[in-house]
């Protein structure tokens, strides 16, 4: 119990620090949102519009501590504020647009790559020096070593552009209306997600596989494994319930953190495949110095990571009796 309270206390402090840094760091960047927005039009906007824009965005001007106080007040009420670059739409609404897609694509890809990578890692460790260990592991590690956008663009060019096996852009066919009850729409979503998901999965799998394999090898050398085998337990049982169960613990922490970062968006995927999501939203928010939107996305990311960490902390206690 005291463990739980201590952990919660730690996370609360971490959350507060995150909120504060979240507010101040973007404002350290050179430039302010209003004049930036004006300049974006490259002389096509009437110069006199600047005064009107400044009037519209009074909420990002003023003494900084006052702005911080307002920000905290709003946050306590669950109000993330109004976006500057997408004025007058609220930050929550802007984020909601991309969040669904990001969670679906990045979430699925992260989970699948973790499961597949971990399973392969178990196999590679158990059958050391055989096929999985000698061929699959180096191949996946190689794929993971390339910069992601390189692999993605190559895949896009070869499989989508040249061979035409997959659609080139977007999350679904533009001529099908967005209707989650329609099977045509769902099929289109699935088709468009294959290439982005596969590139994500194959580049991430190598890391999980390597990590799991190394953890396993460490465990396999221990006495209790020999004991289990001596007792006559089936190989598979020893591999999974004895070795893997202990070996997976370090990987789980990494997995939790990855899940947390899922909400930060997968910027490179979104750029290469023109896939909607939170990553590009964040990039354009930074470019436009859209402080409220940046704060909203950063906040979501940090909170999710913290939550994921808390979750893993608790899970650890459950899985590993030694930690209790």
Partner 1 sequence: MFKKYSSIVLVAVALTLVLSIGVSFAQDSVPRGGTVVVNESPQGSWVRNFSPFAPNPLPGTTRVIYDPLVVYNPVDGGKPTWWLATGSKYSDDLKSVTFTLRDGVKWSDGQPFTADDVVFTFGLFQKFPALDRNGLLAFTDSAEKVDDHTVKFNLKSVYTQADIQIGGMFPVPQHVWSTIADPTTYTNDNPVATGAFTEVKDFSDQVYSLCRNTNYWQNGTDGKPLPYVDCLQYPAYTDNNAANLALINGEMDWGGNFVPDLDTTYVAKDPEHFHYYFYGGSPWVFMTNTTKKPFDDVKVRWAMDLAIDYNTISQTAENGYTTVDPLNASGIYPKWKDWVPDSVNKKIADMGLGTFNEDKAKQILDDAGYKVGSDGFRNMPDGTPIGPFKIQIVNGWTDVVTAAQIISQGFQDIGLNASVVTPDFGAWQTNLQQGTFDTSLAWSVWGVTPYDFYHNILGKDLIDDKGVSTGQFQPRIYSDDITKSLQDFLLTNDAAKQKDIVGQLADYYVTNVVSSPLSPWPSWYEFSTLHFVGWPDKNNNFSLGSPWDNNGTRVTANAIHCVDATSCGQK
* Residues near partner 1, by CB under 8 A: 29-32, 35-40, 42-53, 55-56, 82, 85-89, 93-94, 97-98, 101, 161, 168-172, 174-175, 177-178, 270-277, 280-281, 284, 287-289
CB of 269 to partner 1, least distance (A): 10
Q: Which residues contact 144 (CB under 8 A, 6 or more apart)?
A: 203, 204, 205, 206, 207
> Residue 60 or 123: which CB sits closer to partner 1?
60
- Sort 135 into a burial class: Cβ within 10 Å, 0-12 / 13-18 / 19+: exposed
CB of 204 to partner 1, least distance (A): 21
> Residue 9 or 31: which CB sits closer to partner 1?
31
Q: Using CA atoms, how far apart are residues 97 and 89, in angstroms rounded to an integer?
A: 11
> Residue 3 or 41: which CB sits closer to partner 1?
41
> Residue 195 or 205: which CB sits closer to partner 1?
195
Decide if 214 contacts 122 (C-beta within 8 A). no
CB of 73 to partner 1, least distance (A): 19
> Residue 46 or 235: which CB sits closer to partner 1?
46
Give the HSE-up count for residue 19: Cα atoms under 13 Å, Cβ half-sphere: 14
Q: Three-class SS string for 232-266? A: CCCHHHHHHHHHHHHHHHHHHHHHHHHHHHHCCCC
Q: Using CA atoms, how far apart are residues 215 and 251, in angstroms rounded to an integer?
A: 9
CB of 7 to partner 1, least distance (A): 37
CB of 314 to partner 1, least distance (A): 35
> Residue 85 or 203: which CB sits closer to partner 1?
85
CB of 263 to partner 1, least distance (A): 16
Terminal alpha carbon distance of the chain = 10
Q: List helix spans (H) across the chain.
A: 2-27, 33-39, 49-56, 64-76, 91-102, 108-126, 131, 137-145, 148-155, 183-220, 223-230, 235-237, 245-262, 267-273, 278-287, 291-319
Pick the closest to residue 255 from 214, 315, 198 (CA basis).
315
CB of 67 to partner 1, least distance (A): 18
Q: Using CA atoms, how far apart are residues 87 and 94, in angstroms rounded to an integer?
A: 10
CB of 143 to partner 1, least distance (A): 22
> Residue 43 or 129: which CB sits closer to partner 1?
43
> Residue 42 or 221: which CB sits closer to partner 1?
42
Pick the closest to residue 204 from 109, 277, 123 (CA basis).
109
- ∠ CA 308-270-85, nearest 5°, is 90
């Amino acid at each position: 119990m005291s463990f739980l309270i201590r952990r919660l206390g730690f996370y609360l402090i971490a959350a507060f620090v995150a909120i504060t840094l979240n507010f101040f760091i973007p404002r350290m960047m050179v430039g302010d949102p209003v004049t930036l927005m004006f300049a974006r039009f490259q002389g096509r906007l009437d110069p006199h519009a600047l005064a009107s824009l400044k009037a519209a965005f009074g909420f990002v001007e003023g003494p900084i501590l006052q702005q911080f106080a307002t920000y905290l007040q709003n946050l306590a009420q669950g109000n993330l504020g109004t976006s500057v670059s997408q004025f007058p739409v609220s930050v929550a609404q802007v984020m909601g647009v991309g969040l669904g897609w990001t969670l679906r694509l990045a979430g699925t890809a992260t989970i699948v790559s973790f499961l597949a990578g971990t399973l392969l890692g178990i196999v590679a460790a158990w059958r050391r020096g055989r096929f999985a260990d000698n061929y699959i592991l180096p191949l996946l590690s190689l794929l993971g070593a390339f910069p992601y956008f390189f692999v993605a663009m190559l895949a896009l060019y070869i499989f989508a552009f040249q061979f035409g096996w997959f659609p080139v852009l977007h999350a679904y066919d533009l001529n099908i209306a967005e209707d989650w009850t329609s099977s045509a729409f769902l099929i289109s979503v699935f088709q468009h997600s294959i290439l982005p998901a596969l590139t994500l999965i194959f580049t991430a799998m190598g890391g999980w596989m390597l990590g799991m394999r190394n953890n396993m090898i460490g465990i396999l050398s221990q006495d209790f494994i020999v004991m289990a085998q001596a007792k006559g337990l089936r190989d598979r049982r020893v591999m999974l319930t004895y070795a893997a169960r202990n070996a997976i613990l370090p990987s789980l922490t990494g997995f939790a953190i990855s899940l947390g970062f899922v909400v930060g968006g997968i910027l490179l995927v979104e750029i290469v495949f023109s896939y909607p999501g939170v990553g590009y939203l964040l990039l354009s928010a930074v470019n436009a110095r859209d402080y409220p939107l940046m704060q909203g996305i950063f906040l979501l990311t940090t909170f999710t990571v913290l939550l994921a960490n808390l979750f893993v902390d608790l899970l650890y206690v459950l899985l590993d009796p030694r930690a209790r």
